[in-house]
């Protein structure tokens, strides 16, 4: 089933174009930015999803402020990589999965294993999102975990109904849930009143005392730099350009400045003038920095609000979300616990929506096959119900399952990360927006650091 906003772009003939006109006032610049906002906003939920809750709660409860530096480091790495992914969509007119498929020239012996690995990463992501919804239903309404596992799977109906609507509706849905999530975490931080000196020390001094701390370090990186987010951001920006071009050519659009800036037809997006692409990339960069900075603060906030539960003896990374909420309610009142559970529910629902889009983008981009969206989502959700249900029946900690799912994601980050850095560093794909030498060096350092963390984890785990 073809997504309603996923019109495939085809390379046009080279045709001369008029020079675009830049915004002439601060008001126009703001209006253009607000029109653009959407791609990075949607992607930012990947950095505030239930997997982040699992790793951040484990880090805060087990190591107090010690691992705050990891949150900021992971957020900075994510910001750079997401910027590159979005820029790829603007410059090339292709999503990352589409370019990977083109590089493999559609050869199944290369495409198939890569696609299966990408799908495994998407499934691990969806598992964390689904667990977040299940845990939130259990905490808020007292639904037993086993029944919550069934009810949580029904979010597929809401998601698939929305997928048949306008793209703007999807963006508004994300904006609403993210607002609930951010406001709730900020309020929790205000109530907790963290030790600012300890926050500063933990943010600057890189510590990781023991193998358990290292596991959480890799888990936080895996929960922050998400493979599916790197795949989908390029697709979102590509289609945002399409949407703006459509609006600019509409007779109902009264903003002549927008029409001047978006003279290119949707099907001619890859041949857009240099000025237009540069302008769009500036909007993309501002949105990415703004939204992922907020996401980083939220991640740090989740870790910080878990600090009061530190017992002073031993490392309590096996703390369950229920115990966490109960502990917070006992210290600060039941309203705080309920509010935290609401943010978890908003996180689970919104990240599930992003996972639905990402899964479709990965499959269509790598295989060229447009699967039925309902069938795909139901099968994916069904796959995740089984391990979750088994975990519940065996009495295992859902929070621990969350943490290990994020470690798996960290191990799969190279799949999109390496080709992303490669494509954005080549002029034949990026044109004038090709990475500068400094950007390439920083990106390679990020890649090397993530690979080193993963390698060390694998070596010490066996």
Is the pLDDT assigned to residue 353 strictly greater than 80? Answer: no
**Other residues' Cβ atoms within 10 Å of the Cβ of residue 316:** 18
Nearest to 381 by CA among 412, 352, 345, 341: 352
pLDDT band at 147 (very low <50, low <70, confident <90, very high): confident
31-461: which CATH number, 1.10.4100, 2.40.10, 1.20.1740, 2.60.40?
A: 1.20.1740
Q: Among 8-22, 50-64, 322-336, which is the least confidently predicted range?
A: 8-22
Nearest to 357 by CA among 70, 103, 160, 153: 160
155, 352 Cβ separation under 8 angstroms = yes
Q: Pick the residue with more confidence: 263 or 378? A: 378
- 33-47, 277-291, 379-393: range with highest mean pLDDT: 277-291
CA atoms within a 13 Å half-sphere pointing along the CA-CB vector of 153: 19
Nearest to 442 by CA among 91, 83, 118: 83
What percentage of the chain reaches a pLDDT higher than 90? 22
Domain ranges within the chain, ordered by starting residue: 31-461
Which two tokens mark 406? 């994020």
Degrees to nearest 5, angle at CA 446 with 285 and 443 = 50
Residue 60's pLDDT is 87
Is the pLDDT assigned to residue 367 strictly greater than 90? Answer: no
Residue 291's pLDDT is 93
Chain Cα centroid distance, residue 18: 36
Degrees to nearest 5, angle at CA 391 with 378 and 137 = 65
What percentage of the chain reaches a pLDDT higher than 70? 73
231, 417 Cβ separation under 8 angstroms = no
Residue 10's pLDDT is 39
Mean pLDDT of 52-77: 87
Mean pLDDT of 96-105: 92
pLDDT digit string (tens) for 303-317?
Answer: 998 888 765 444 454
Which two tokens mark 344? 């978890």
349, 95 Cβ separation under 8 angstroms = no
Task: Look up the pTM and report it.
Answer: 0.81
255, 31 Cβ separation under 8 angstroms = yes
Q: Among 66-80, 294-308, 385-399, which is the least confidently predicted range?
A: 385-399
Residue 25's pLDDT is 65
Nearest to 339 by CA among 125, 51, 347: 347
Residue 209's pLDDT is 77
Distance CA 58, CA 416 (A): 27
Q: Among 33-37, 98-102, 270-274, 439-443, which is the least confidently predicted range?
A: 270-274
Which two tokens mark 359? 């899964």
Residue 137's pLDDT is 83
DSSP, res 15: -
Q: Pick the residue with more confidence: 398 or 329? A: 329
Residue 11's pLDDT is 39
Q: Pick the residue with more confidence: 173 or 203? A: 203
Mean pLDDT of 439-444: 94
Distance CA 108, CA 110 (A): 5
397, 318 Cβ separation under 8 angstroms = yes
Which two tokens mark 125? 């992501």
Is the pLDDT assigned to residue 418 strictly greater than 60? Answer: yes
Is the pLDDT assigned to residue 97 strictly greater than 90? Answer: yes
Distance CA 205, CA 64 (A): 13
Q: Pick the residue with more confidence: 164 or 155? A: 155
Residue 52's pLDDT is 77
For the residues of 371-406, what is the DSSP string, one character each?
--HHHHHHHHHHHHHHHHHHHHHTT--HHHHHHHHH
Nearest to 361 by CA among 103, 171, 62, 101: 101
Nearest to 58 by CA among 341, 406, 408: 406
Residue 54's pLDDT is 74
Residue 249's pLDDT is 64
pLDDT digit string (tens) for 249-274?
Answer: 664 554 444 444 444 443 444 455 67
Distance CA 253, CA 265 (A): 15
For the residues of 235-251, what is the DSSP string, one character each?
HHHHHHHHHHHHHHHST
Mean pLDDT of 340-350: 82
Mean pLDDT of the chain: 77
Q: Among 120-134, 172-186, 288-302, 356-370, which is the least confidently predicted range?
A: 120-134
Non-local (6+) Cβ contacts of 443 within 8 A are: 80, 81, 84, 421, 424, 425, 435
């Amino acid at each position: 089933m073809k997504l309603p906003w996923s019109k495939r772009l085809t390379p046009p003939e080279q045709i001369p174009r008029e020079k675009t006109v830049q915004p002439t006032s601060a008001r126009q610049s703001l209006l253009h930015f607000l029109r653009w906002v959407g791609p990075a906003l949607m992607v930012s939920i990947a950095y505030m999803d239930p997997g982040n809750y699992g790793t951040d709660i484990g880090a805060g409860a087990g190591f107090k402020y010690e691992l705050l530096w990891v949150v900021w480091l992971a957020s900075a790495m994510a910001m750079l990589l997401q910027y590159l992914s979005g820029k790829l969509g603007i410059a090339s007119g292709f999503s990352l999965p589409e370019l990977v498929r083109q590089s493999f020239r559609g050869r199944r012996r290369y495409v198939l294993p890569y696609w299966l690995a990408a799908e495994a990463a998407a499934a691990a992501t969806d598992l964390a999102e689904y667990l977040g919804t299940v845990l939130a239903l259990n905490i808020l309404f007292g639904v037993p975990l086993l029944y919550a596992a069934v009810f949580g799977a029904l979010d597929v109906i809401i998601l698939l109904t929305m997928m048949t609507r306008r793209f703007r509706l999807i963006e508004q849905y994300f904006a609403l849930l993210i607002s609930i999530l951010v406001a709730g975490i900020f309020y929790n931080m205000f109530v907790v009143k963290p030790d600012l000196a300890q926050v500063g020390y933990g943010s600057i001094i890189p510590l990781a005392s023991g193998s358990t701390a290292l596991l959480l370090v890799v888990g936080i990186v895996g929960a922050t730099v998400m493979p599916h987010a790197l795949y989908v951001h390029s697709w979102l920006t590509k289609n945002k350009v399409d949407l703006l071009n459509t609006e600019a050519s509409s007779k109902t659009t009264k903003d002549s400045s927008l029409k001047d800036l978006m003279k290119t037809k949707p099907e001619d997006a890859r041949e857009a003038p240099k000025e237009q692409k540069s302008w769009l990339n500036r909007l993309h960069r501002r949105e990415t920095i703004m939204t992922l900075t907020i996401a980083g603060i939220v991640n740090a906030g989740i870790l910080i609000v878990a600090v009061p539960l530190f017992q002073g003896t031993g490392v309590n990374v096996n703390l369950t979300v229920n115990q966490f909420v109960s502990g917070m309610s006992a210290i600060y009142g039941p309203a705080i616990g309920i509010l935290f559970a609401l943010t978890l529910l908003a996180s689970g629902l919104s990240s599930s929506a992003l996972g639905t889009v990402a899964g479709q983008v990965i499959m269509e981009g790598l295989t060229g096959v447009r699967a039925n969206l309902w069938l795909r989502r139901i099968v994916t959700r069904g796959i995740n119900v089984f391990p979750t249900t088994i975990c519940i029946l065996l009495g295992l900690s859902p929070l621990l399952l969350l943490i290990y799912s994020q470690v798996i994601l960290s191990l799969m980050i190279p799949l999109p990360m390496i080709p992303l850095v490669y494509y954005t560093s080549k002029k034949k794909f990026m044109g004038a927006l090709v990475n500068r030498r400094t950007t390439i060096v920083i990106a390679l350092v990020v890649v090397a650091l993530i690979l080193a963390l993963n390698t060390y984890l694998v070596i010490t785990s066996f």
